[in-house]
Structure 1
Amino acid sequence: MSELTYDDFKNRVNIQDLLVDAGYQLNRRDGMRYPSYVRIGSDGKRVHGDKFIVTANGLCCFQPPERKNYNVISFIKEHPTFFAEYRPGMSGDRLVNLVCNRILNHPIADRVTRDFEKQRETRPFDINDYETHGFINGNWESQKRFYLYFQHRGINLQTQRAFSDHFFLATRERGDGKKYTNLSFPLSLAAWPGKDVVGLEERSRPNAEGKTAYKGMAVGSNATEGLWIARLENNRSDMGFTRPIGEANDVYWFESAFDAMAYYQIKINEPGNVGYHDLANAVYVSTGGSPTKRQFSSMIEHTPKAVHHLCFDRDRAGRMFAINFALQKDGRVFSSHLTQDKKTLVVTDLTNGLKRHELPLEPFNFRDVCDRLGIDSRGIGYEPCDSRYKDWNDQLLDKPMENEESQTRGIKR
């Protein structure tokens, strides 16, 4: 059967059918001259401001108040997360082909997806490109260089010494001959924790205003699978672990290594809270920003006995990460995204047919959301910071949130 072209799609796929496929419903009570399609929330009511109106020619639609017209091609490309076929990093052209061919019931041959962006990437990360300086317990001279990186984060010497095997300073020379140094948290794979450094979660020294000027991943880092993995008893995250993480009873998840260290410092100083022995035997994990499914699945696979404590940021994105983890641990095939106003989480579950869920994130109760999705959440603890703060480091600094919309995710992947 011959392949269909974009012209075929525009001529054969009805924009109204596409809107219905994307989760919208015909608004029969609108009373307008042209059909309008609205999204219905989990409460059975219209989602305010989420509406598309079909144009006079019936071939396009627009979302008021903007008058930007979308045909079937541009609608799919600019709203990829509306469709079950979407996967992060997928080519827009590939998505258009999959969606339109499915709607037209037109078989499409499987093919190996080629990612041209990855072909243009630089060579893989190599730790030998860096000169490293370690934090050596019992050697004050080695420790002094770390002061400015941790002081503005409120992370004290006791905590630095506890995590000392899991960070270092890494210096690299640029092409112009200048050198730069960052505080670096080594990434490795859950299958081989610490044995091979596959990237670095990096933080620069604070600028004159006391803010971190740079935070991100080192060039060539495997940020899709790599994790900062720290275990505090007799382990080195750049030389291989002496105790396997598979025996761990607890895994604590964070979006930043700083948050993991802040959590430890807060808990170790709280009377009657988690004991030192438990904290020392735990595995601390940083995803270095927005977590990926492969980061989740690999750690879940290699820590079968552990309770997973989800200590992600308290903002809406952090709540989405917690639900994504629960879905992954429960073996679901899914995609998820936040709506444009960031107030609703949309989950498309393909595990047993197509199911679409719209879940308000205000107020948020992790167990209730898991129950609504039918997720077995045993072995998962939802443990964000105090509700006044965005993350654990802000709680350590006693830096309350002003409002969530002003917060930035800030970490480049």
Structure 2
Amino acid sequence: MSELTYDDFKSRVNIQDLLVDAGYRLNRRDGMRYPSYVRIGSDGKRVHGDKFIVTANGLCCFQPPERKNYNVISFIKEHPNLFAEYRPGMSGDRLVNLVCNRLLNNPVNDRVPRDFGRQRETRSFDIYEYETQGFINGDWESQKRFYPYFQNRGISLQTQRAFSDHFFLATRERGGKTYTNLSFPLSLAAWPGKDIVGLEERSRPNADGKTAYKGMAAGSNAAEGLWIARLENNRSDMGFTRPIDKAKDVYWFESAFDAMAFYQLKMNEPGNVGFHDLSNAVYVSTGGSPTKKQFSSMIEHTPEAIHHLCFDRDRAGRMFAVNFALQKEGRVFTSHLSPDKERLVVTDMTKGVKRHELSMEPFDFKDICERLGIDRRGIGYEPCDERYKDWNDQLLDKPMNNEETQTKGMRR
């Protein structure tokens, strides 16, 4: 099949289907001549001011009181965060291509990732395609296999044992070669641990001590899946014995390694002053750039929790923290870093359209939340020490340089 053009998308993709895919619902009680679509909040009620009305020709929509019309192309480009395919730094044209082809059930040839030039697979993840080896407490032979993966990260054997139910080695044969990676299983917040929907993977370090491959296993549901770890006899591959809906503390990271490093640093602090019982906390890794669905699902299923945002200290990590606060507040928004990375641009469409440009240097999470009118109750901004990019670097005492404060454009 030849590649579809913008004209093909505008003629074949229904604007109403696109609105539904973006999270809107047909408002059957509006009583207007033309269809309107509204967003429903977590309380089951309409989000005031967040409504789109389909135009008379049925090809466009607009958001009152403004009369700016969006067709399927412009709607996707100006509301990128409403779609699961979006990643920070992604071009609008690429996003349009992915979303429209998905809605048309057309396969898309994915670009080659940077890691080993491996091709991404579109079929669903299947854990039974892998041979797994667990870290068994009390069995030294099983534990020795994990030493090369954790040694260069500074993760102690004590910390490995604490998290042992939440990682394993996964081996798979591809192209006549066998690959084994340290794997952190992804599951959904609604069913933590009961169904593995992907793997956050790290290869064995090379001769220089650097991890050659890091990414998601083929077919992983990276849009919704999370690494969710709780240290109370809960296994990430068998289902949690205790639900997370009563969790008091959820700690958010971009990498499972960062979560383990954070735990190790805090547990070794004299008296562990100022922190809750870390063994009873829930640790979450987004596996890289977090999505709105990852945020919203965990927020929904941990209604009593305080959320501790431990994302990286670079500008992308700062943006993720602000995005989380906006999501928890129930805002309808898009956000991106300015081309020079100096400002965070937030477009809040919850009640009309409000555009904010927020300085990233110096970064003050409290001040930004106040400027955006966000209630910070239930949120703690807790990055690593300002000398380091992330918690694993702090554990290794590896200060960052100026270049590392810039945003990461790829999921890591």
1:313 aligned partner, one-letter code: D
Deviation at 1:409, TM superposition (A): 3.6
Match of 1:124 in 2: 124
> Contact 1:333/1:350 (CA < 8 Å) preserved in 2?
yes
Deviation at 1:403, TM superposition (A): 1.4
Structure 2 CA distance for partners of 1:357 and 1:241, relative to 1, 3 Å:
same
Runs in 1 of length 4+ with deviation above 2 angstroms?
83-96, 112-122, 272-277, 404-413
User: Matched residue of 1:296: which SS?
Assistant: helix
User: Matched residue of 1:202: which SS?
Assistant: strand
Match of 1:56 in 2: none
User: Matched residue of 1:371: which SS?
Assistant: helix
Match of 2:376 in 1: 377
Q: Mapping of 1:269-308 within 5 angstroms? A: 269-274=268-273, 278-308=277-307
Greater relative contact order (CA < 8 Å, ≥ 6 in sequence): 2
Structure 2 CA distance for partners of 1:93 and 1:398, relative to 1, 3 Å:
closer
User: Matched residue of 2:170: which SS?
Assistant: strand
Measure, in 2, the Cα distance between the counterparts of 1:385 and 1:125: 33
Q: Deviations over 1:146-200 (max 9, x none)?
A: 0000000000000000000000000001132x11100000000000000000000
Deviation at 1:123, TM superposition (A): 1.4
Match of 2:175 in 1: 175
Measure, in 1, the Cα distance between the counterparts of 2:237 and 2:385: 32
Q: Deviations over 1:241-299 (max 9, x none)?
A: 00101111000000000000000000000013258971010000000000000000000
Measure, in 2, the Cα distance between the counterparts of 1:276 and 1:332: 29
CA radius of gyration, larger in: 1
Measure, in 1, the Cα distance between the counterparts of 2:134 and 2:108: 32
2:132 aligned partner, one-letter code: T
User: Matched residue of 2:355: which SS?
Assistant: strand
1:156 partnered with 2:166: no
Measure, in 1, the Cα distance between the counterparts of 2:328 and 2:376: 8
Measure, in 2, the Cα distance between the counterparts of 1:117 and 1:343: 37
Match of 1:198 in 2: 197
User: Matched residue of 1:159: which SS?
Assistant: helix
Structure 2 CA distance for partners of 1:166 and 1:368, relative to 1, 3 Å:
same
Measure, in 1, the Cα distance between the counterparts of 2:80 and 2:208: 45
Q: Mapping of 1:173-322 within 5 angstroms? A: 173-176=173-176, 178-274=177-273, 278-322=277-321
> Contact 1:86/1:95 (CA < 8 Å) preserved in 2?
no
Measure, in 2, the Cα distance between the counterparts of 1:310 and 1:85: 23
User: Matched residue of 2:277: which SS?
Assistant: helix
Structure 2 CA distance for partners of 1:276 and 1:366, relative to 1, 3 Å:
closer
Q: Deviations over 1:32-83 (max 9, x none)?
A: xxxxxxxxxxxxxxxxxxxxxxxxxxxxxxxxxxxxxxxxxxxx989x86x3
Deviation at 1:113, TM superposition (A): 3.9
> Contact 1:288/1:411 (CA < 8 Å) preserved in 2?
no
Q: Mapping of 1:368-407 within 5 angstroms? A: 368-405=367-404
Deviation at 1:116, TM superposition (A): 3.5
Q: Deviations over 1:72-110 (max 9, x none)?
A: xxxx989x86x35774547749979xxxxxxxxxxxxxx
Deviation at 1:377, TM superposition (A): 1.1
TM-score (norm 1): 0.73
Measure, in 1, the Cα distance between the counterparts of 2:314 and 2:271: 28
User: Matched residue of 1:153: which SS?
Assistant: coil
Measure, in 1, the Cα distance between the counterparts of 2:342 and 2:286: 23
- Indicate which of 114, 137, 144 corresponds to 2:104: 114
Q: What is the number of residues matched between the two proteins?
A: 325
> Contact 1:167/1:183 (CA < 8 Å) preserved in 2?
yes
Measure, in 2, the Cα distance between the counterparts of 1:338 and 1:188: 29
Structure 2 CA distance for partners of 1:242 and 1:313, relative to 1, 3 Å:
same
Structure 2 CA distance for partners of 1:410 and 1:158, relative to 1, 3 Å:
farther
Structure 2 CA distance for partners of 1:356 and 1:319, relative to 1, 3 Å:
same
Measure, in 1, the Cα distance between the counterparts of 2:138 and 2:232: 17
Structure 2 CA distance for partners of 1:370 and 1:154, relative to 1, 3 Å:
same
> Contact 2:341/2:406 (CA < 8 Å) preserved in 1?
no
1:181 aligned partner, one-letter code: T
Q: Mapping of 1:68-83 within 5 angstroms? A: 83=78
Match of 1:145 in 2: 145
Gaps of 5+ in 2: 1-5, 8-71, 87-91, 111-120
Measure, in 2, the Cα distance between the counterparts of 1:158 and 1:336: 40
Deviation at 1:408, TM superposition (A): 7.2
User: Matched residue of 1:335: which SS?
Assistant: strand
> Contact 2:389/2:405 (CA < 8 Å) preserved in 1?
no
RMSD, matched Cα: 2.9
Deviation at 1:353, TM superposition (A): 0.5
Structure 2 CA distance for partners of 1:227 and 1:248, relative to 1, 3 Å:
same
Structure 2 CA distance for partners of 1:286 and 1:119, relative to 1, 3 Å:
same
Measure, in 1, the Cα distance between the counterparts of 2:95 and 2:236: 39
User: Matched residue of 2:299: which SS?
Assistant: helix
Measure, in 1, the Cα distance between the counterparts of 2:94 and 2:257: 39
